[in-house]
């Protein structure tokens, strides 16, 4: 028994902010190809530079793009789909100019990249090889077209012989997932229009490709009408895709001149929100099988599907979360986490136990600092809401007998997203010091079916806020938290809910907002094209139709009611939630002498990528909480 009794929040911990920041790799696209695993990773220690790496069982890890190359797309501002491996080459979007480059692969690594496109106003993403026509097909987003202020999105044909790229498919507001059939005769793709987001209304189309590569005979396969499609993939003459027509994402099959056929009927959901390109919840394998990763009431499940018979075999997985699946032959690659494993790239082959290919951090953590989370079902005016509670854990300290710890309620962004279950260094940074941590999947979160997600439609700033306050009350009354020491933190849309929670309640001792939304009318005026219609769905009206609704759901409108101390973290170059949002709420609170701190970081956008920024934010947020606990 540990007799080192100390106040919770003040426990000594070897998990420093610098260690967390230095090892906080972020993984992008993952691709299994030819017995190798390829992935992109963002490195905080290199100010967010994103090389592409390769792993094989024989040679281990090889970096294919040395500095200063960085593979990152900025289409939709969130990016994804930054590279593909095909035809013996790595094709990638270079961060600095958003053009596509080719690097021929060698046993030792990759040759020097050669530029394929040179279009200063166009960004690219989600690249596919049309080998029979010696070209790439990719999503292109062109800025500054004519007199319009919004970019134009299309599918582009990009020849590999040096001739000029051209628009291949246009007419919709957005495109994703161009996929060429194995015989080169058909092109599948997703498309959707404003005001919808892809998870609300993405439609799946298939077009014929003529001998010269032109598109003809476009047919709609599925989606729209209150449903959405996701992740089309060809297997022979059949097109597989995820469709949530029954309220949750299941796998479907389509063949030309036939109606789609549902293959799975899962107690769970294969659909994922397409915030970034190349999201994937299944991987095609040899022998007519697919490796599935689906979510059932917030928990990730694994299964092997026989595509011919529809037989589903549950798989035992050591991971609590899996994403970005890719398959080739008998090899499956993906990004994963477990309760005792931080974010990593992993590979499975031939039914063997998965191998860890790359860890996001090499920082060794004593198992005594790791406590598995407890899944909570919390009563709320919206209905039951769900969360993961991580208790304080430290083998070298304990809190005073009978005293509940301070609690940090963490709100994910999106809001169409979810908290990922697994070992997260930021969470351990706080729990190892004696804080409890609650990841809250408030109404609107994914992983619980469409009905749960739709709870937030028209109710953003109300249902999510009620859920957050209900979670604080539940934690206090159930003994999980000191009633006088409950804090709330969140970023982006989570930051919006943080600000609305302290504007409409006094449930929190303090609050931390990372690039959060404070003024919805201001956001609608400045937001980028991808989210131009998002507020209409979340609030239930356009700003033109009901500006008073937008004001009522903005924390800035209620600034006079805020008494909770607040700390704000903001990127100077944020294009999604501009810094004017954080500055406005900071100025309003300073004017009425509410304790508020504003921290702005140069060179950072929406989501911090630099080690120094991540370190500083952790230390500042911790000191903010500690100052309130002793104040």
The enclosing domain of 471 has a CATH number of 3.40.50.1820
- Both 492 and 469 in one domain: the answer is yes
Question: Predicted confidence band at 311 (pLDDT cuts at 50, 70, 90)?
Answer: very high
Q: Is the pLDDT of residue 3 over 80?
A: no
Predicted pLDDT at 257? 86
217/209 Cα distance (integer angstroms): 9
Q: Which of 356, 326, 324 is nearest to 338 (CA)?
A: 356
* Structure token pair of residue 284: 């095609």
Predicted pLDDT at 350? 80
64/53 Cα distance (integer angstroms): 5
Q: Which of 349, 351, 318 is nearest to 332 (CA)?
A: 349
- Both 316 and 378 in one domain: the answer is no
Q: What is the pLDDT of residues 514-572, one digit of tens each?
A: 999 999 999 999 899 999 999 999 999 999 999 999 999 999 999 999 999 999 999 99
- Both 381 and 479 in one domain: the answer is yes
Q: Tell me the pairing of strands 566-571 and 486-491.
A: unpaired
- Both 569 and 492 in one domain: the answer is yes
Question: Predicted confidence band at 144 (pLDDT cuts at 50, 70, 90)?
Answer: confident
In a domain? residue 211: no
How far does CA 544 lie from the centroid of its chain?
30
Contact by Cβ (8 Å): 505, 511 = no
Tell whether the torsion through CA atoms of 111, 50, 71 and 229 is positive or negative: positive
- Both 430 and 303 in one domain: the answer is no
Predicted pLDDT at 147? 62
Predicted pLDDT at 145? 75
HSE-CB of 557 using CA atoms within 13 angstroms: 16
Contact by Cβ (8 Å): 601, 572 = yes
Contact by Cβ (8 Å): 189, 244 = no
Q: Report, in this order, helix, strand and coil percent for the chain, each rounded to 5.
A: 20, 35, 45
Q: What is the pLDDT of residues 565-591, one digit of tens each?
A: 999 999 999 989 999 999 999 999 999
In a domain? residue 595: yes
Query: By three-state DSSP, how is residue 224 classified?
Result: strand
> Residue-wise over 559-594: b if at least 16 C-beta within 10 A, else e?
beebebbbbbbbbeebebbbbebbebbbebbeeeeb
Within 10 Å of residue 557's Cβ, how many Cβ atoms? 18
In a domain? residue 251: no
Contact by Cβ (8 Å): 500, 488 = no
Strand ranges (E), 286-320: 289-296, 299-306, 312-315
Predicted pLDDT at 351? 74
Predicted pLDDT at 352? 81
- Both 318 and 390 in one domain: the answer is no
Could you say which of 362, 387, 404 is where a domain stops?
Answer: 362
More confident residue, 352 or 212: 212
Query: By three-state DSSP, how is residue 354 classified?
Result: coil
343/205 Cα distance (integer angstroms): 34
Taking residues 51-77, report their average pLDDT. Answer: 96
More confident residue, 175 or 527: 175
Predicted pLDDT at 303? 95
Average pLDDT, the chain: 95
% of the chain at pLDDT higher than 70: 99
- Both 352 and 377 in one domain: the answer is no
- Helix axis angle, 463-477 to 493-504, nearest 10°: 70
- Both 342 and 472 in one domain: the answer is no
* Structure token pair of residue 247: 């309220």
Q: Is the pLDDT of residue 28 over 80?
A: yes
In a domain? residue 392: yes
Predicted pLDDT at 2? 52
Which ranges in 437-563 belong to alpha helices (H)?
A: 450-454, 463-477, 493-504, 520-526, 534-539, 547-552
Scan for tokens 């029979």, then name that residue: 132
Strand ranges (E), 261-381: 261-262, 282-285, 289-296, 299-306, 312-315, 321-328, 331-338, 341-349, 355-359, 374-378
Sequence length of the chain is 631
Cis amide leading into 243 (omega within 30) = no
Q: What are phi and psi of 536, to 5 degrees?
A: -60, -40
Scan for tokens 């005594």, then name that residue: 368
- Both 307 and 380 in one domain: the answer is no
Domain count, the chain: 2
Taking residues 248-263, report their average pLDDT. Answer: 95
- Both 584 and 444 in one domain: the answer is yes
What is the secondary structure of 107-154 as a DSSP string?
Answer: TTEEPPPEE----TTEEEEEEEEEGGGTEEEEEEEE-S-TT-SS-EEE
DSSP letter, residue 367: G
53/355 Cα distance (integer angstroms): 16
Taking residues 224-233, report their average pLDDT. Answer: 96
- Both 358 and 371 in one domain: the answer is no
Taking residues 192-217, report their average pLDDT. Answer: 96
| Of 146-150, 386-390, 409-413, minimum mean pLDDT range | 146-150
Contact by Cβ (8 Å): 610, 44 = yes
First to last CA, the chain: 31
* Structure token pair of residue 582: 């954080």
- 315: containing domain: 283-362
Query: By three-state DSSP, how is residue 144 classified?
Result: coil
Q: What are phi and psi of 20, to 5 degrees?
A: -60, -45
% of the chain at pLDDT higher than 90: 92
In a domain? residue 173: no
Predicted pLDDT at 1? 41
- Both 531 and 450 in one domain: the answer is yes
């Amino acid at each position: 028994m540990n007799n080192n009794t100390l106040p919770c929040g003040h426990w000594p911990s070897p998990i420093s902010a610098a260690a967390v920041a230095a090892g906080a790799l972020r993984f992008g696209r993952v691709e299994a190809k030819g017995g190798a695993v390829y992935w992109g990773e963002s490195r905080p220690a290199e100010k967010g530079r994103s090389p592409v790496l390769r792993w094989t069982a024989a040679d281990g890890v090889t970096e294919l793009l040395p500095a200063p190359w960085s593979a990152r797309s900025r289409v939709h501002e969130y990016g994804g789909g930054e590279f593909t491996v095909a035809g013996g080459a790595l094709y990638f979007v270079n961060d600095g100019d958003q053009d596509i480059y080719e690097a021929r692969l060698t046993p030792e690594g990759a040759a020097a990249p050669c530029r394929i496109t040179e279009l200063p106003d166009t960004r690219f993403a989600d690249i596919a090889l049309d080998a029979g026509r010696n070209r790439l097909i990719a999503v292109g987003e062109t800025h500054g077209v004519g007199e319009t202020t919004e970019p134009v999105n299309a599918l582009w044909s990009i020849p590999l012989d040096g001739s000029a790229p051209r628009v291949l498919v246009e007419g919709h507001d957005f495109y994703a997932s161009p996929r060429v059939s194995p015989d080169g005769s058909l092109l599948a793709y997703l498309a959707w229009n404003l005001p919808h987001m892809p998870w609300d209304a993405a439609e799946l189309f298939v077009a014929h490709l003529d001998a010269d590569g032109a598109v003809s005979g476009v047919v709609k396969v599925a989606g729209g009408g209150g449903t959405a499609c996701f992740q089309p993939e060809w297997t022979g003459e059949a097109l597989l895709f995820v469709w949530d027509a029954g309220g949750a994402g299941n796998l479907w099959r389509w063949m030309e001149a036939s109606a789609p056929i549902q293959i799975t009927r899962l107690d769970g959901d294969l659909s994922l929100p397409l915030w970034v390109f190349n999201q994937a919840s299944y991987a095609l394998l040899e022998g007519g099988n697919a490796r599935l990763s689906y979510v059932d009431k917030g928990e990730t499940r694994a299964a092997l599907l026989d595509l011919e018979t529809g037989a589903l075999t549950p798989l035992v997985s050591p991971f609590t979360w899996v994403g970005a699946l890719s398959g080739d032959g008998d090899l499956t690659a993906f990004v994963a986490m477990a309760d005792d494993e931080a974010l990593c790239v992993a590979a499975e082959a031939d039914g063997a136990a998965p191998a860890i290919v790359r860890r996001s951090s090499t920082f060794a953590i004593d198992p005594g600092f790791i406590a598995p989370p407890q899944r909570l079902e919390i009563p709320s005016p919206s209905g039951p809401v769900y969360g993961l509670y991580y208790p304080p854990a430290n083998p070298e300290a304990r809190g005073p007998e009978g005293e509940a710890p301070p609690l940090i309620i963490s709100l994910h962004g999106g809001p169409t997203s979810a908290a990922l279950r697994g070992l997260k260094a930021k969470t351990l940074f706080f729990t190892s010091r004696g804080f409890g941590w609650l990841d809250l999947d408030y109404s609107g979160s994914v992983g619980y079916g469409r009905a749960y997600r739709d709870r937030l439609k028209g109710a953003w700033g109300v249902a999510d806020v009620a859920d957050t306050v209900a979670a604080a009350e539940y934690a206090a009354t159930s003994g999980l938290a000191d009633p006088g020491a409950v804090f709330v933190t969140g970023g982006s849309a989570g930051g919006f809910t943080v600000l609305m929670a302290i504007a409409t309640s006094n449930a929190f001792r303090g609050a931390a907002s990372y690039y959060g939304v404070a003024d919805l009318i201001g956001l609608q005026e400045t937001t980028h094209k991808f989210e131009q219609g998002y507020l209409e769905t979340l609030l239930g009206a356009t700003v033109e139709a009901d500006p008073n609704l937008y004001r009522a759901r903005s924390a800035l409108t209620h600034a006079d009611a805020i008494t909770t101390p607040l700390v704000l973290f903001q990127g100077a170059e944020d294009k999604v939630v501009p810094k004017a949002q954080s500055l406005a709420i900071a100025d309003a609170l300073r004017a009425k002498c509410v304790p508020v701190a504003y921290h702005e970081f140069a060179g950072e956008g929406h989501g911090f990528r630099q080690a120094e920024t991540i370190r500083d934010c952790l230390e500042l947020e911790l000191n903010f909480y500690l100052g309130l606990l002793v104040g």
